[in-house]
Chains A and B, each alone.
Chain A
Amino acid sequence: AQRVTQPEKLLSVFKGAPVELKCNYSYSGSPELFWYVQYSRQRLQLLLRHISRESIKGFTADLNKGETSFHLKKPFAQEEDSAMYYCALSEGGGFKTIFGAGTRLFVKA
Chain B
Amino acid sequence: EAQVTQNPRYLITVTGKKLTVTCSQNMNHEYMSWYRQDPGLGLRQIYYSMNVEVTDKGDVPEGYKVSRKEKRNFPLILESPSPNQTSLYFCASSLGPGTSPFFGPGTRLTVL
Contact = CB atoms under 8 A, between A and B. Distances in A.
Nearest to B48: A95
Interface residues of A, number: 23
Contacts of B89: none
Interface residues of B, number: 26
B44 A99 contact: yes
Contacts of A98: 45, 59
Interface in B61-112: 90, 92, 96-98, 100-106
A84 B25 CA distance: 24
B91 to A, nearest CB: 11
A17 interface: no
A94 B97 contact: yes
Contact of A101 (B41, B102, B106): B41
Contact of A100 (B42, B50, B98): B42
Given A46-B100, A46-B101, A97 B90 contact: no
A86 interface: yes
Nearest to B98: A94
Interface of A: 4, 6, 9, 32, 43-46, 49, 51, 86, 88, 90, 93-102
19 contacts: A6-B42, A43-B104, A43-B106, A44-B43, A44-B90, A44-B92, A44-B103, A45-B103, A86-B43, A90-B98, A94-B96, A96-B48, A96-B58, A97-B33, A97-B45, A97-B58, A99-B43, A101-B40, A101-B41
